[in-house]
Chains A and B, each alone.
Chain A
């Protein structure tokens, strides 16, 4: 748990991965370029002394992940956003089933999301049912730019996608995380587009649409849609690490998000291992707007606002009762391993 000015900040990292881009698992040049592209993002927005080597970055152990998030970072819970990419990686990059193993091991700490690809047709719907049944997923991560055969991507407002969203609605899979923003091969204009979120969000008001990377490089289109659709949220992955070497830009982006979406619809996510919560959480929590930004936007990054962004908003979407959860975390395996039990004791929160 992070502590700011005597207050506990419960941190839900709403966007983490446990991937395998080892040379053995990499199928082709596409996979090799993909991980190198990720690595450029990693090194570009990570403090020099916290950079990983490319070898470390290709594949990291579950133990390391757990230590980074919960031992060294102030994360209390984390949500897996699977990215299959079977066209690039033999066993997939970061699959639902692999992620679920960690949930099994640390049930109080991890949440696994499912995924679907509308191009999978009926088999895909059955797979979604399986994910719900086996892992009780409350959300899905959608990667619209994923290659499949000749297809280089799909849209949220495709007819086939609507059938899947209908299915999500029936199954109670309410949180739809759409990767928008940096794409792996944006040949066409749609790959950058966030307009499809608009149609989907209007058609499925019972679902929540979390646009990852706050739509960058289409933050403007995203905020404009978010201002009109109450069930649209922004995930801070990619924007958050800008706090490290582009703090003014991070401030502007937060100002815009707070202005157009408000403090209840922004979710922190590290995108681990792209960036590591062991340095990121603190930098985001301690970020401040410049006086000019405060005047322009009429907002401040107060502890109250940041508590929502860092955890309460995600807790709301995933039905986590934070006070109950703290009790459960007091004595779980992670708290034992890293000696965190006292952090979650009831008197620690009393002022």
Chain B
């Protein structure tokens, strides 16, 4: 799991996952949520500080959990919120000992439609009767962008390690060796030049890419590891253009991440000022 330090209860122990006999600890829930990303920013919703509270039922064996979250603005895309809430609920319900998870969105103009819809298993277009466009297509589009950004990171790591464009465009999964369950600090070994040269890169740069490529349906078993944004093999003459398009997608994602983070910060500031004003008003009474 990532470097998020679980707050509250004792941290979960990765070697002995909670069983159904015990109420999973808050840390385990947080760890599960850490794998859920904001699809537009491709970053963990825990890292982005969207989780405001986690309630666990006291009853052992019949675990219920309620996750409260708040997004950077009251106007954040309901479609994106829907995807995050769906994923959050599934992640928490995948934990042993949790039978039912609820996800509650706070401080959003559509908090009730979203919270009701997600927890009552309603489809998106029923929860929002004016929704058009296909939610799966939204997810696919964002995931494809995330793949391009992750590929950009992997390519840069490999270029830094000394790989050439010619070597990179013909790499396949067989050339990459890593322990999929190994710790994050580990390196991945990438063989180039018909195995004559081995390059060492941060494991995550490759693992994260492979994971996203597989999830968007890039067939890595038959074809090269790295692709154009359209999913095709990269002609070596186009390598530079593909790298620049990856850089552009990364700048966009980081830029939008900056906008969201700033809005989030200013919202929290407004709320704390509001609380302070109401405290002052109370004490003045």
Contacts and interface: CB of A to CB of B under 8 A. Distances in A.
A44 B262 contact: yes
A253 interface: yes
A216 B256 contact: yes
Interface of A: 29, 33, 36-37, 40-41, 43-45, 150, 152, 182, 184-190, 192, 216-220, 223-224, 238-239, 242, 245-246, 249, 252-253, 255-256, 259-260, 296
B131 interface: yes
Interface stretch (B7-15, B54-62, B211-219, B264-272): B264-272
B255 A252 contact: yes
Contacts of B245: 220, 224
Contact of A188 (B75, B133, B270): B133
A223 B130 CA distance: 30
By CB atoms of chain A within 10 A, which of B78, B79, B255, B262 has the most?
Answer: B255
Contacts of B247: 256, 296
9 contacts: A40-B73, A44-B265, A187-B78, A187-B128, A189-B79, A189-B138, A220-B251, A224-B248, A253-B251
A184 B131 contact: no
B262 A150 contact: no
B79 A242 contact: no
Nearest to A260: B248
Interface residues of B, number: 37
Given A44-B266, A217-B40, A37 B248 contact: no
By CB atoms of chain B within 10 A, which of A44, A184, A223, A246 has the most?
Answer: A44
B67 interface: no
Contacts of A33: 74-75, 109
Contact of A252 (B40, B251, B270): B251
B259 A217 contact: yes
Contacts, number: 102
A45 B262 contact: yes
Interface SS of chain A: helix, strand, loop or mixed?
helix
B150 interface: no
Given A187-B131, A188-B132, A256-B248, A219 B263 contact: no
Contacts of B78: 185-187
B255 A44 contact: no
Interface in B231-262: 244-245, 247-249, 251-252, 254-256, 258-259, 262
Given A216-B252, A219-B251, A259-B244, A44 B263 contact: yes
B269 A43 contact: yes
Given A44-B263, A150-B130, A224-B248, A249 B255 contact: yes
A40 B259 contact: no
Contacts of B131: 187-188
Contacts of B75: 33, 37, 184-185
B248 A242 contact: no
B196 interface: no
By CB atoms of chain B within 10 A, which of A37, A43, A188 has the most?
Answer: A188
B141 interface: yes
Interface SS of chain B: helix, strand, loop or mixed?
helix
Nearest to A153: B132
Interface of B: 40, 73-75, 77-79, 109, 128, 130-134, 137-138, 141, 145, 244-245, 247-249, 251-252, 254-256, 258-259, 262-263, 265-267, 269-270
A255 B131 CA distance: 36
Contacts of B269: 43
B249 A40 contact: no
Contact of B79 (A187, A223, A239): A187
Contacts of A152: 130
Contacts of B130: 150, 152, 187
A40 B263 contact: yes
Contacts of B132: 187-188, 190
B141 A238 contact: no
A57 B20 CA distance: 54
B73 A37 contact: yes
B43 to A, nearest CB: 14
A239 B252 CA distance: 11
Contacts of B265: 44
A90 B245 CA distance: 44
B79 A220 contact: no
A137 B248 CA distance: 35
Contacts of A239: 255
A152 B269 CA distance: 31
Contact of B255 (A182, A185, A219, A245): A219
A246 B141 contact: no
A184 B74 CA distance: 10
A75 to B, nearest CB: 24
B252 A40 contact: no
Contacts of B254: 249, 252
A44 B73 CA distance: 11
B79 A186 contact: yes
B249 A220 contact: yes
B267 A40 contact: yes
A35 to B, nearest CB: 12
A44 B260 CA distance: 9
Nearest to B137: A189
Nearest to B264: A44
B244 A43 contact: no
A33 B111 CA distance: 14
Contacts of A260: 248
A239 B262 CA distance: 13
Nearest to B134: A189
A186 B20 CA distance: 41
Closest 10 CB pairs of A and B: A217-B256, A188-B133, A44-B266, A219-B252, A44-B262, A220-B252, A189-B133, A246-B258, A43-B266, A252-B251
